[in-house]
Amino acid sequence: MAKIIAVTNQKGGVGKTTTTINLAASLAATKRKVMLIDLDPQGNATMGSGINKAEVEASSCEVLLDEMPLREVIVRAEQAGYDLIPSNADVTAAEVRLMEMPGREVQLRRALAEIRHEYDYILIDCPPSLNMLTVNALVAAQSVLIPMQCEYYALEGLTALLETVEQIRVASNPALQIEGLLRTMYDGRNNLAADVSEQLTHHFGDKVYRTVIPRNIRLAEAPSHGLPVMLYDKACAGSLAYLALAGEIIRKDHESELSQVAV
């Protein structure tokens, strides 16, 4: 049964889509079966997976509006090694139409029910806002991975996101947990970054991943080639960091399973 992780932060430019693509590819490289769902109308995760968003026949729009079964919308991101539910500008229309639908916040959860047992991990790339698309992701997910830069305003945005997660947990998805906080675009020479990083660790403890994603030019270049960074430059610091993150997530899941068996 797949573990469903929503990758979200309402603040743009924090490495959210970069994280979703590269974590999906890194998990797939460990022989896990992975699906990436692009819920962002910009379609950056689709393009970064090597799929042209202008040429897809269907997208997450049709899934959310119950117009096509999710299975029929899947495309294979062959080089990246995972399955993809693509996105494009049509998803903006889905957000508007969802507002008129009964049960609008559970559309994605319903759609995933039929295929969830076929995957090890399902990662959802959310838009950079707390809208109905993000709510669908949070209701469908078991956990939330929050990429964030170590800067002052990031802490302010984090508070609002955690409040939203708590509201979703109370109203629609009691099982929803914080998967982890991921420090992205990190520069250890920056005093503010080090201070914010220390505050995060102090407040959130082991919810902060030990893995840190550095500022890395190869990581920034890879999307323009439609590739995860491990296929663009497997030896670069960004590639090694995302492989380490995948390893950390798998290890934590394995420890969690063992502790449940022990109980």
Contact in structure between 165 and 138 (CB atoms under 8 Å): yes
Weakly modelled stretches of the chain, pLDDT under 50: none
How does DSSP assign 130-154, residue by residue? -SHHHHHHHHH-SEEEEEEESSHHH
Residue in 153, 209, 221, 165 with CA at minimum distance from that of residue 183: 209
Q: What totals of helices (H) and strands (E) does the chain contain, helices first? A: 12, 8
pLDDT on residue 263: 60
Q: What is the pLDDT of residue 13?
A: 84
CATH of the domain at 84: 3.40.50.300
User: Is 237 in contact with 216 (CB distance < 8 Å)?
Assistant: yes
Is 123 in contact with 7 (CB distance < 8 Å)? yes
Structural domain count, the chain: 1
Q: Report whether 158 contacts 146 (CB < 8 A).
A: yes
Domain residues for 174?
Answer: 3-262
Report pLDDT for 152.
76
pLDDT attached to residue 123: 98
**CA 190 – CA 188 distance, rounded (Å):** 5
pLDDT at 258: 84
What is the value of pTM for the model shown?
0.95
